Amino acid sequence: MMVKYDELIPEIIPDVAGCPVPLAKRTLRNACVDFFKRSEAWVHHPTPLTPVAGLPELYIDVPEGTRCYKILTFDYKGKKLEPTSEVLLDDRIPGWREAQGQPKVFFKGCGSLGTTL
């Protein structure tokens, strides 16, 4: 069940007398984001992604009003890929963006998911 921050403010304000409502909303939002990041309490299972030949990135559709914080697992054709970072790929596999074939690793970028050999 989705609840707007505005609906929770009347529950909070009596305990923090004098706190400006915008500050209470921002603090509540930050606490919620921190909770979901650390607890991994909400997990989204997106529809299967289809890679495009020659493009090293995939884009994950997430529900409106949400964002992807962390990729817990990623499989390609039934094989689990290992997580890495774009920086490590640049250091270890120069030219990985142009590589073709079965991906072996993945990383989460800004709004995209990179895969490579």
What predicted TM-score, i.e. pTM, was given to this entire model? 0.55
pLDDT tens-digit readout, 21-48:
999 999 998 998 888 778 877 777 777 7
C-alpha torsion sign, points 68, 114, 56, 51 = negative
pLDDT tens, position by position, 57-70? 777 777 877 777 77
